[in-house]
Structure 1
Amino acid sequence: MREPARLGRTRLPDGRYLGWAEWGPSDGTPVLFCPGAATSRWLAFGGDAVDAFGIRLVSVDRPGLGASDPAPGRTLSSWATDLRHLIQDRALHVPSVVGFSQGAPFALALAADGLVNAVAVVSGSDELAHPRFAHSLTPQVKAMVDAVAADPDAATASFADFGSADALWDLIITTSPEADRAVYTDPVFRQAFRHAMDEAFSQGPAGYARDTVLAMARWPFDPAGITVPIDLWYGQQDTSPVHSPDFGASLAGRLPTATRHLLPDAAGSLLWTHTEAVLRTLLDHAR
């Protein structure tokens, strides 16, 4: 875990700002990062690897989180529109993208909009509202999906009432297997992770709540229309109820260009335990 090499905000055409953080060489191969739920641009991965591989890693705060201005009523489609402007402003050309956990649908939305050349979905949230998962979700997650479908505004308010850095940290630790807790509670990692969470809630819980509504709703794009290479990375020891009930098996079938990597010894934290494998595979596509 390292401090960002560069921090900034990009002004969008409507006057809002998107906050971002960068690691690695400024002239490196650009890789966008969509971090997971309740975190911010301060969460990264790769450490020395981004320099060794020549990667310019760009982590972006979604609207209402961290240093990004709110965008009431935002969607996955409007997120892609925002990132189109950021990519142009930061001269990222056609980057690759990594989507971790709840960041996965945001990364795939960029691919669906033709903005990236390759995608790595790591421990990614699946389309939980899709009918194929109607009977495989945990009762709590099914209740969240049903609540969003019935009344998105009421669900948003409910998620906001629950949302805080402390509440989400406790939830992550109590629902994670030992393999993940060993990573998350490492003193250096814990400090960086908690800082990223505190920054995510610096404007209050509304940004987190909107993210969660979007993650629990149907996606506004057809995965079958995505044409760039996609790698789906899942750890068989992952116990998160909001990632993928079948470890990306059915999602791989819906994405014509997807390759699924199911690692028997890994858990939800594989973005940090198997960083080099993820990055090497992504760079093979990008280059």
Structure 2
Amino acid sequence: MSVQHLTLTNGLKLGYAEYGDPRGEVMFYFHGWPSSHVQGSLFDEPARKHRIRLICPDRPGIGLSDFQEKRTLADWPETLTQLAAHIGADNYHVLGWSGGGPYVLVTALTLPKRLLSASIICGAPPLKFLGDRDMFWLYRVMIQLRHYFPTVLGAVLRLGGLTAKGDPRKPLLRFMMKLLGPEDRRVLLLPGIYDVVRDATLGALDRGPKNVIADADIYLSEWGFEVSKINYPIHFWHGKDDRNIAWTYTDRVASLIPVATPRWSDIDGHYSLPITHAEQVLANAVQKPPVKTEESLLPGLLGK
């Protein structure tokens, strides 16, 4: 891993990490919430195999990057454009997991001529439009705390960071793991996987919960554009046992985009799909984007 900084035209520093093949095609990876550039390391090996230079920026206020006041989703394409120019990429792929999904969508809307592909794994939905009824109950609690008790939410995030440092096999974390589906639990307990997920979360909290909350506010706000206006092929991947973000959100979002390919796994969840099937996601991204269709990811197709 190589960690670097870029000073943006607004004077703020943007930090990013590089994984994969340094001579490969550029793919920007947009991390989830609450997470950071460390999450991109989960894609390092398949990125090397498929000759992808994986660039993983921390969003403003997260990890390596300076906080940006009054940031909106619409600010991201300009930030990405400066980062792309900095590393010498005229065209590139974009991939987002969970909270990184909306950043893929706004990039596809505003910079379609720069894109080689656009992929979203278990993406966060426009909650202002679709509501939070099908979100993980813990997320719904945090949304309510954000509205009515933001100070308490900050304390909850700090406590969560401390809890994450423990052993996932010990009582408290074992209880939290039981809230996930069987595939998520299995994958998170594989050697080294939980460590990466934990370190990525702690990296998000390095600059304090206030910045993490500001990052979350973007999901709760109006995105500032209509998803239906996107006219670039989006590859959607979602597990039907995702208990963090229900697959039905992706189904509804994909139905609004003129050219989209939703793919489903009946057995995977929020963590198991991107980690177990990272190679398939990246291999698909470097191919020519298909026309709109809907595919079911049966266990056999995924090599289960």
TM-score, length basis structure 1: 0.86
Which residue number in structure 1 is paired with residue 157 of structure 2? 163
Alignment of 1:257-272 (within 5 A): 257-269=259-271, 270-272=273-275
**Residues 156 and 210 of structure 1 are in contact (CA less than 8 Å); yes or no, is this contact kept in structure 2?**
no
1:62 aligns with 2:62: no
Q: Deviation of residue 8 (structure 1)?
A: 0.2
The alignment partner of 1:278 has SS state of: helix
d(CA) in 2 for partners of 1:19 and 1:174?
A: 34
Amino acid at match of 2:87: R
Match of 2:13 among 12, 17, 23: 17
d(CA) in 2 for partners of 1:179 and 1:111?
A: 31
Q: Deviation of residue 29 (structure 1)?
A: 0.8
Deviations 1:186-227 (A, max 9, x none): 341122222222222111112211121111223212212222
1:220 aligns with 2:224: yes
Q: Structure 1: where are the runs of 5+ without partners?
A: none
Which residue number in structure 1 is paired with residue 301 of structure 2? none
The alignment partner of 2:43 has SS state of: coil
Deviations 1:217-274 (A, max 9, x none): 232122122222101101111111xx24515111111111111001112211211111
Amino acid at match of 2:231: T
Identity %: 23
Which residue number in structure 2 is paired with residue 251 of structure 1? 253
Match of 1:283 among 275, 282, 286: 286
d(CA) in 2 for partners of 1:276 and 1:75?
A: 32
After superposition, the Cα gap between the structure-2 partners of 1:33 and 1:135, relative to the gap in structure 1 and judged at 3 Å, is: closer
1:27 aligns with 2:23: yes
d(CA) in 2 for partners of 1:195 and 1:134?
A: 27
Q: Deviation of residue 140 (structure 1)?
A: 6.1
* Stretch moving more, 30-39 or 219-228: 219-228
Q: May I ask how many residue pairs the two structures share in their alignment? A: 276
**Residues 155 and 213 of structure 1 are in contact (CA less than 8 Å); yes or no, is this contact kept in structure 2?**
no
TM-score, length basis structure 2: 0.81
d(CA) in 1 for partners of 2:257 and 2:149?
A: 29
Which residue number in structure 1 is paired with residue 74 of structure 2? 77
Which residue number in structure 2 is paired with residue 176 of structure 1? 180
Match of 1:185 among 186, 189, 201: 189
d(CA) in 2 for partners of 1:71 and 1:31?
A: 24
Amino acid at match of 1:119: A
Deviations 1:130-167 (A, max 9, x none): 1x44765577655665777xx6xx67655433223235
Alignment of 1:102-113 (within 5 A): 102-113=99-110
Which residue number in structure 2 is paired with residue 204 of structure 1? 208
**Residues 137 and 245 of structure 1 are in contact (CA less than 8 Å); yes or no, is this contact kept in structure 2?**
no
Deviations 1:21-67 (A, max 9, x none): 11122221111111111211111233422112110011110111111
**Residues 240 and 246 of structure 2 are in contact (CA less than 8 Å); yes or no, is this contact kept in structure 1?**
no
- Between structure 1 and structure 2, the one with the greater Rg is 2
Q: CA RMSD in A?
A: 2.6
After superposition, the Cα gap between the structure-2 partners of 1:83 and 1:159, relative to the gap in structure 1 and judged at 3 Å, is: farther
d(CA) in 2 for partners of 1:155 and 1:210?
A: 14
**Residues 44 and 54 of structure 2 are in contact (CA less than 8 Å); yes or no, is this contact kept in structure 1?**
no
**Residues 157 and 209 of structure 1 are in contact (CA less than 8 Å); yes or no, is this contact kept in structure 2?**
no
1:234 aligns with 2:230: no
